[in-house]
Structures are given as structure tokens and as C-alpha cells.
Amino acid sequence: MTTANAPSRRAFLRGGFNATPILRPVGALAEPSFLEACTGCGDCARACPEKILFRGDGNYPVLKSKRACTFCNACVDVCETGALSADVPWTWRAQADDTCLSRNGLQCRACQDHCDDDAIRFRLQPGGRSEPIFDADLCTGCGGCVAPCPVNSIHLLHPNPQTEAQSC
């Protein structure tokens, strides 16, 4: 196990061996650098016009998609420590898990209806099911599709850099 992929001491003690990456604000440095630079002051959360940044463990900011991020960079602009940088690309993309109503034969298009970038479409499947398809080229990772999902099956994830993603 390399130290770059090793869990932090806190994650290790809490059993976070395979923990899902934490969704930090737009422009967040790589996690170790972010944790070193961020003071947990909360300025980024207060500056966010969408009110989607909250204090997480250690007072470090986490993004919770109650609505879409507009990528206004207000959080980046107020960060005096450099933990957030406009030069860091936003690579998170939306993806639906197996609890998606359409995947399970129920009619639902809430995520598609809330996607301003038209990045979500549905492919009909046998048995009355529909497979949500997230276009990685159109999806900005804004999170606008996350909160409207009635069963919380939409999540923002990092695409796998090892394989070419067909859906994000």
C-alpha cells in the first residue's frame, strides 16, 4: 500500500479503509494538501450563494448537493489559505446506483428534468425498465440532479481514469 492511497490515521481508526472520497468544494486541492492548507474557517461555506457547502469532520468543508453548483468560484475567491484554487479542475460526475426507480421498472425522470446541461437520457430496456445514461462530455458535475432523486440513487463520483467511461 502506498502512502498516497493509504487511509489517514483518523479514517483508519474509524474503519474508513475503503471510504468513498469526500466531496470537497470546487477547486479543492488533492485531499492531503487540502487538509494541510484548510483551517476550517468556514469562509467558503458562508460565501456560497447556493448554500451547498457545510462543515464536515474537523470543520473541513464538504459539498452536499441540495441544488446545483453554479461554479461561480465564490468559495475559491474567499479562501485565503490556498486550499481552494481556480486552477484545480472539477472532475466529479453524476452516476445512478442500482436503486434508481427507472432501472427497477418504475417511471421516473426527476434527474433528467433537473439537468440543465441535458447530460442525462434514458435507454429503454426489456421488461419496462429504463437505463439512465449520463453523458460524461455534457455532465459538469454540478449536482443539480442529486437532490431531486426521490430514492437518493444519484451520486457524484470521480470517473475512473484507468478506463474510458461510457457513462459518468
DSSP secondary structure, 84-124, as one string: B-TTS----EEEE-TT-TGGGT----HHHHT-TT--EEEEE
Answer yes or no: is pLDDT of 5 > 60.
no
| Residues 13 and 54 occupy one common structural domain | yes
| Residues 70 and 106 occupy one common structural domain | no
Report yes or no: 26 and 140 within 8 Å, Cβ to Cβ. no
Range of the domain at 70: 9-78
Residue 165 covered by a domain: no
Check residues 86 and 166 and name the one with the higher pLDDT: 86
Answer yes or no: is pLDDT of 160 > 60.
no
Report yes or no: 63 and 53 within 8 Å, Cβ to Cβ. yes
Write down the pLDDT at residue 76: 98
Residue 105 covered by a domain: yes
Write down the pLDDT at residue 156: 94
Give the dihedral of Cα atoms 150, 153, 156, 157; nearest 10 deg. 180
The model's pLDDT over 43-90, given as tens digits with 9 standing for 90+, comes to 999 999 999 999 999 999 999 988 899 999 999 999 999 999 999 999
CATH no. for residue 17?
3.30.70.20
Residue 60 covered by a domain: yes
3-state secondary structure of 61: strand
Closest C-alpha among 44, 36, 88 to residue 63: 44
The DSSP symbol for 43 reads H
Provide the number of structural domains found in the chain. Answer: 2
The model's pLDDT over 112-145, given as tens digits with 9 standing for 90+, comes to 999 999 999 999 999 889 999 999 999 999 999 9
Give the pTM. 0.78
| Residues 98 and 149 occupy one common structural domain | yes
Residue 17 covered by a domain: yes
Report yes or no: 95 and 167 within 8 Å, Cβ to Cβ. yes
Check residues 163 and 76 and name the one with the higher pLDDT: 76
Give the dihedral of Cα atoms 42, 90, 9, 17; nearest 10 deg. 130
The DSSP symbol for 28 reads B
Answer yes or no: is pLDDT of 4 > 60.
no
- Alpha-carbon distance of 132 to 53, in angstroms, equals 27
Answer yes or no: is pLDDT of 167 > 50.
no
